[in-house]
Amino acid sequence: MSLLILGGTGEGNELARALAGRDVVNSLAGRTGHLPQVPGRMRMGGFGGVAGLVDYLRTEDISAIIDATHPFAARMAAHAAEACAIVGIPRLKLLRPEWARTPGDRWTEADNMAQAVDILPNLGRRAFLTIGIQELAHFVSLPDMSFLVRLLSPAPLPASCHAIIGRPPFCEADEVAAMRGHGIEALVTKHSGGNSTYAKIAAARALGLPVLMIRRPPPPPGPVVTSVAEAVAWAATHLGDPSPFVLPPPS
């Protein structure tokens, strides 16, 4: 009974650690070149769409999928749902909770990147973009604006952008220093949730800055859990292994 974890997130890694000793395959898109130290088999790279994933599930005799990809990895989530329906195996979406708004937060929510581009000039002219390199093109051509852009690794950027390189987790003091140092007037972020990137939200609150919060795409229909513990319990029923699972402390 093999379980496929679609990962690339802290939750995916935590789940793999909790399932150590079970027959688990960890799958990563492989964009960052970062290889997490987790137990189980590892594979990297796209499957080749729904058809490729269906082939993979059959060839590897996968009996269940836990989709622990990022809340904004909508394409992978949709492919997993479709492929599992075709092959006839169960799938669970592990979706971390959204951040909660607290007093002092100045959030404006946008349904998608295009709406965020329309709203941003009303919030400030110097924006901190923490949305990943794939989405930058939406913003960088906005006139009379400049951007602080956080990237995982150096990349060529338009003249309107200044890059800082960093990998989560981040701390609030560093985020405050970066926003102050670059004269930031607004923060743009996906509503990712999770602890490792929350510091920028706290920093914006501390500095009284507006946050442009891009809403998540809805997950595909089907079961959703919000914690690794619930995902482990689901795996226990679908792996047909009655021995107890031990949850490590969250990393």
Peptide bond into 242 cis (omega under 30): no
7 binds ligand NAP (CB under 6 A): yes
Q: Which of residues 164 and 206 has its CB atom nearest to ligand NAP in the complex?
A: 164
E strand or H helix that includes residue 55: helix 49-59
17 binds ligand NAP (CB under 6 A): no
Q: Closest separation between CB of residue 242 and ligand NAP, Å?
A: 29
Contacts of 216 (CB under 8 A, 6+ apart): 71, 72, 98, 190, 191
Helix ranges restricted to H, 90-193: 113-119, 137-140, 172-181
139 binds ligand NAP (CB under 6 A): no
94 binds ligand NAP (CB under 6 A): no
Binding mask 171-210 for ligand NAP (x = CB under 6 A): -------------------x--------------------
Query: Which region, judged by CB under 6 A, interacts with ligand NAP, from 69-77, 107-115, 140-148, 208-216?
Result: 69-77
Tokens of 130: 């923490």
Pairing of strands 146-151, 161-165: parallel
Q: Closest separation between CB of residue 244 and ligand NAP, Å?
A: 28
Whole-number Å distance between alpha carbons of 7 and 89: 18
Q: Which of residues 48 and 158 has its CB atom nearest to ligand NAP in the complex?
A: 48
Binding mask 22-61 for ligand NAP (x = CB under 6 A): -----xxx-x--------------xxxx--xx--------
Pairing of strands 91-94, 62-67: parallel
Q: Which of 63, 76, 68, 127 is nearest to 96 (CA)?
A: 68
217 binds ligand NAP (CB under 6 A): no
* Contact footprint for ligand NAP (CB under 6 A): 6-9, 27-29, 31, 46-49, 52-53, 69-70, 72-76, 79, 132, 190
